[in-house]
Structure 1
């Protein structure tokens, strides 16, 4: 019997063997087993097919799906999946079981005879522990329901961290009890003069809870000591006057944006003008209070403190700030995360995680900065801008995004090897994160067009072993193309880039 085409899975599993035969999905199909994973699978099947399986608690019969946990099924987040007369997903833990159900949803296909699953045997587990996406809610504010939708999109690709960029020059996005004017005065605008917004603490808790139900950890970021103009709208006494040097003035001319004015909302995109007053103890009251409240709200281990593009800050002041801020995060019981520039600071707290956002051909200074985190007992998150920055254009004619790091098509997003990017051992790489900066994003549809399909390529790099047989550009293009019906059923307004052979079934 002739077997079908390669399995339509992204990320491609560690081991996947297609077998002859097919298990149909019918109105009689039932979902048995794990009560936490079953509702996600039932809802996903119903969205995709219009058929809503029932749940059951007795023994499985032909055509049923059985979900169960077994620590012997693999390492953390791993799973085994077999489809025969019965479909069985076995998770090594709750996350692994959830990821197995996402694979089962990708395998669900319609043929002339109806919906069903190819007979298959899969054993799977992730390459990296940290598989992330960053959402910039400071330049464009996303309401809670839209953040939840983005969480669902990320989880379907087996990503497990969402980094929320909660503050920037254009806006502040989380209520802080001890500094209440941030909500009132610092959150009212976004880039381009769009409406702003601010999450209440209950909003933030709802985001954290929704993410946890999809096995995603929230990583909050307050970007310090630069990118802090919005803070000065509420508390001008702790923010320096905007810096105006030749580089920043020429950049404003290039962008066609007005220069920032202290105490007035800034809706342009220029960076490096701003800083908190690093040597003032009132500033440290602010930093301590804000980080303490966010740490109390956040069950995950990470607290991101920024550290990028502090172009108007002296080297000595920047070092003083990052040493003191990373130590403070450590005292709060969290692991500090900082952009790679903080790796230039000799005394950053031991264990600080560095996030590299340079290019896939790093210059010596950036590579050394990243390596310093490892020397201090930390690890690295890889976010090379010319490969995984989702705000870069697909091509020069694409209407959304920027191109300062080049254009990033699906090939560029997938055609690099994380283990070879920086001069550090692979075990020091915590994982990969794809940032979506939102200077040009004005809706969820805009976000979808920038994230999909490139986020799928990044997810495969983060999940799949480097030597997996199907992890190659040609295979990936075809497997991404076969996600189109599933993405359409989930309402994803993906960009139909011509480099992908898109499927209708």
Structure 2
């Protein structure tokens, strides 16, 4: 009898252990976003030990620091070491890999004893580390993880579809300062975005210090939309933001919008106006009044005055001097003037003379600008006379100040009445062969707080990130929704006030506490 009981117990134990093994082998694989180009999962795991080494070769020092910072939020005691082929984590920077991986690609191989990452540049290593980060428990984002960490064995070879993967924040209509901008950069980096376009000037406010034109901030920064915030970035703050961005492989793209959308400058320097303010029509405000409304397309520089080009050259020259990136955005949208084309050509020439590449909203390509200018398409209606590189920011897919779902309050749905859905963002297809990438703006007429900005950016910016990174054949909306659902808790722990898109089965509920929905078994 005892023998029979022992046999049954042994059989049960074997079946139980087999069940655990089967369960472990069927564990959900990491929900990586953007979807990698090539991925092959294998059986088994890399288990993070109590002590581990991060070894790196020459040039990969910053990447080793990023990885060690990640490991600091785990139970392991990690240390770095210059060298190759060590157990633990191995980082290899090899410029020769650019032929196969491009400038931003990476190879990641995970065995039972080594997590090996190689790339042609620091950017590639950084993006590989973001992929590794997504394999760690979500709790790593804001606390120390004490539970055992296992990474699935496998190999990933990955590189982006487009060189330009951008987000745009309008800080002119309502001001957002350095703290929020840095948080936004952190979130962008996590999803492998590499351009932050700052809309620095508009009718409501001028948000960047120009030392040769101090009234632009002394007076021009005081305005904002109703309920919005005023203020400006000092040059030191702007430089600090660029340095913070560069560490995350993100380029800051500043926009000085002209010759329209410029009332804040016209108010600060009235001599930029025509006689009797003929350049302000309709006259929604005249100097020294501030403008707090939403209407666009009513202000412009007095293009009949040759001296406005001294102002333009002064502002662009100072912006070029304090901008580390290669680009200056001159705006150029929503303006009608017989001298418009002449202005755009001159402004483009000034930017190129400063050693920068000009970017403009698509209307600028009505003029015979230089072929190096980058056109940012927002409505696709412009009849261009030049063949230029293109950034796709089509409003029906990428204007995220529009509603997440139909009827969302405090949204501006002029382009698409039912809003821009997560699916609208994800299913955008590039058709123009000159396209160098995608960028999604958030205009802030009705975005008055950090929480509101988060709500508009996320999770639609995640969808756009996959559009910019992943090849079309690797994309699938249902699969994306499933992967995105696994990012809910992580986004919560990263303090992102994202819109909880109803069709996504988020893996967290930020509205529940430990006692929510609990009832003790008692007389109640």
User: TM-score of the superposition, structure 2-length normalised?
Assistant: 0.84
How many pairs align? 469
Q: For 2:154 and 2:212, how far apart are their aligned partners in 1?
A: 56
Q: Any idea what SS the aligned residue of 1:82 has?
A: strand
What is aligned with 2:55?
Answer: 32
What is aligned with 1:296?
Answer: 321
Change in 2 beyond 3 A, CA 1:139/1:266: same
Q: For 2:227 and 2:305, how far apart are their aligned partners in 1?
A: 31
Shift of 1:147: 1.1
Change in 2 beyond 3 A, CA 1:289/1:51: farther
Shift of 1:301: 1.4
- Taking the TM superposition and a 5 Å limit, the aligned residue runs for 1:235-254 are 235-240=269-274, 241=277
- Match for residue 490 of structure 1 among 489, 494, 497: 494
What is aligned with 2:378?
Answer: 357
Shift of 1:387: 0.6
Shift of 1:59: 6.6
Q: For 1:53 and 1:446, how far apart are their aligned partners in 2?
A: 39
Answer yes or no: is 1:348 the counterpart of 2:377. Answer: no
Q: Is the 8 A contact 1:89 1:97 kept in 2?
A: yes
Shift of 1:299: 2.0
**What is the CA deviation profile of residues 2-24 of structure 1, one whole-angstrom value per residue up to 9, with x for unaligned ones?**
44445401100000111111223
What is aligned with 1:279?
Answer: 304
Q: Any idea what SS the aligned residue of 2:415 has?
A: coil
Q: Is the 8 A contact 2:105 2:124 kept in 1?
A: yes
Change in 2 beyond 3 A, CA 1:71/1:332: same
Change in 2 beyond 3 A, CA 1:45/1:139: farther
What is aligned with 1:255?
Answer: none
What is aligned with 1:174?
Answer: 208
Q: For 2:488 and 2:91, how far apart are their aligned partners in 1?
A: 26
Q: Is the 8 A contact 1:109 1:116 kept in 2?
A: no
User: TM-score of the superposition, structure 1-length normalised?
Assistant: 0.87
Shift of 1:194: 3.1
Answer yes or no: is 1:125 the counterpart of 2:159. Answer: yes
- Match for residue 123 of structure 2 among 81, 87, 95: 95
- Taking the TM superposition and a 5 Å limit, the aligned residue runs for 1:416-455 are 416-418=428-430, 420=431, 424=432, 426=433, 428-455=434-461
Q: Is the 8 A contact 2:207 2:233 kept in 1?
A: yes
Q: Is the 8 A contact 1:45 1:105 kept in 2?
A: no
Shift of 1:31: 3.0
Structure 2 residue runs of 5 or longer lacking an equivalent are 1-21, 140-145, 510-524
Q: For 1:430 and 1:356, how far apart are their aligned partners in 2?
A: 12
What is aligned with 1:224?
Answer: 258
**What is the CA deviation profile of residues 79-135 of structure 1, one whole-angstrom value per residue up to 9, with x for unaligned ones?**
001112211111221100000000110111379963331212100001111111111
Answer yes or no: is 1:318 the counterpart of 2:366. Answer: no
Q: Is the 8 A contact 1:79 1:91 kept in 2?
A: yes
Q: Any idea what SS the aligned residue of 2:182 has?
A: helix
